[in-house]
């Protein structure tokens, strides 16, 4: 594979991931539904394309990281979609968190045209995207994984091949299940500590060194204490992920009651107008349940 790379989806995560690829010396062809979000990358030398198809035609490897399953479907299978550029030698990699069955179905269509596809959802938020420390969960053929590894290494630190296309998404669902419960626990701890009159910065620093230590305490609790609810990962996208996990669990005849409760709490946050805030804004829903502002 050469150095011509496509990148579609230039939001909070995608813009930083694409920027790192440019910094690593790759020639980028980019597309985003809102062209203004591509300006910074174009300023760094990226080539703007007017459609996903043109990105795919120019690039040998094309990454996508968009919002919802319907966006994935549109980018790949819609008018002027990537499927129109699928051909021998073309490799696509969907890094959106989406339905495992959707990426598997798209991969089948791509492979029918002689191309290949991987799914590679990520975890690590905006900080991980900027610093190149993302955890990348990959579903791909061995050949596709080998071709993608140099690029994955620019974007992440933990990179695991979990199986064929769809396996990356299932792994991400497991990741989101853990995060949902952890975010609830961290939020409740902050509310409890505040009500008890503790020095919250000291409390977070103390409990993060023991068995409660986790990424959420280290990265999101400090944002809450500063009143920073800007999105590293948006509430509305997390609600989407939890919904996918619950749908998949139902198909497997599994009950995930903690995840269902967490999703209901986040739906309450969204109803309060916080859908585009970061997931750490969950503390606001808990404050509402307490009937007054605590933090």
Q: How many helices (H) and strands (E) does the chain have?
A: 14, 9
Tens digit of each residue's pLDDT (9 = 90 or more) over 171-202: 999 999 999 999 999 999 999 999 999 999 99
* List 99, 172, 270, 284, catalytic entry: 172
Q: What is the per-residue pLDDT for 159? A: 98
Domain topology for 4-163: Rossmann fold (3.40.50)
Q: Which residue has the tokens 């813009």?
A: 15
Query: CA 7, CA 30: separation in Å to the nearest integer?
Result: 5
| Burial tier of 25 (Cβ tally within 10 Å: 0-12, 13-18, 19+) | exposed
Mean pLDDT for the chain overall = 95
Residue 26 to residue 61: CA distance in whole angstroms: 11
**What are the CA-CA distances from residue 224 to residues 47, 189, 191, 217, 261 (Å)?**
38, 12, 11, 10, 21
pLDDT tens digits, the chain, 295 residues: what are they? Answer: 458 999 999 998 999 999 999 999 999 999 999 989 999 999 999 999 999 999 999 999 999 999 999 999 999 999 999 999 999 999 999 999 999 999 999 999 999 999 999 999 999 989 999 999 999 999 999 999 999 999 999 999 999 999 999 999 999 999 999 999 999 999 999 999 999 999 999 999 999 999 999 999 999 999 999 999 999 899 999 999 999 999 999 999 999 999 999 999 999 999 999 999 999 999 988 887 777 677 7
pLDDT of residue 1: 45
The sign one gets for the Cα dihedral 44, 12, 214, 100 is negative
Q: One fold for both 4-163 and 170-290?
A: no
Looking at the domain 170-290, which fold is it?
1.10.1040
Question: Could you tell me which of 66, 67, 24 has the C-alpha nearest to residue 46?
Answer: 24
Would you kindly state where each structural domain of the chain is located, as residue ranges? 4-163, 170-290
pLDDT for res 223? 96
Question: Catalytic: 90?
Answer: no
Burial 56-71 (b: 16+ CB within 10 A, else e): bbbbebbbbbbbbbeb
Residue 17 Rama label (left phi>0; alpha psi -120 to 50; beta): alpha
Query: pLDDT tens across 6-58, in order?
Result: 999 999 899 999 999 999 999 999 999 998 999 999 999 999 999 999 999 99
Strand blocks (E) in the chain: 4-8, 27-31, 47-48, 61-64, 91-94, 116-119, 122-123, 134-139, 156-163
């Amino acid at each position: 594979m050469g150095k011509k790379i496509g990148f579609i989806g230039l939001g909070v995560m995608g813009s930083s991931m694409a920027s790192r690829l440019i910094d690593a010396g790759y020639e980028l062809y980019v597309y985003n539904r809102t062209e203004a979000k591509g300006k910074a990358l174009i300023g760094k030398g990226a080539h703007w394309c007017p459609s996903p198809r043109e990105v795919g035609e120019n690039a040998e490897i094309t990454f996508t990281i968009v919002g919802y399953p319907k966006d994935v479907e549109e980018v790949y299978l819609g008018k002027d979609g990537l499927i129109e550029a699928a051909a021998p030698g073309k490799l696509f990699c969907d890094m959106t968190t989406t339905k495992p069955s959707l990426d598997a179905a798209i991969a089948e269509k791509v492979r029918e045209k002689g191309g290949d596809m991987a799914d590679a959802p990520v975890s690590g938020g905006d900080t991980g995207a900027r610093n190149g420390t993302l955890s990348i969960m990959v579903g791909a053929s061995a050949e596709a994984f080998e071709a993608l590894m140099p690029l994955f290494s620019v974007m992440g630190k933990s990179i695991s091949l979990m199986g064929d296309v769809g396996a990356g998404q299932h792994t991400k669902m497991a990741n989101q299940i853990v995060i949902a419960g952890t975010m609830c626990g961290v939020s409740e701890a902050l509310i409890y500590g505040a009500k008890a009159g503790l020095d919250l910065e000291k409390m977070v620093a103390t409990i993060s060194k023991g068995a409660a230590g986790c990424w959420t305490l280290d990265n999101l609790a400090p944002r809450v204490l500063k009143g920073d609810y800007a999105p590293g990962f948006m509430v509305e996208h997390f609600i989407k992920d939890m919904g996918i996990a619950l749908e998949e669990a139902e198909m497997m005849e599994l009950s995930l009651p903690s995840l269902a409760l967490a999703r209901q709490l986040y739906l309450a946050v969204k109803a309060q107008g916080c859908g585009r805030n970061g997931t750490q804004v969950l503390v606001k829903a808990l404050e509402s349940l307490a009937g007054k502002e605590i933090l």
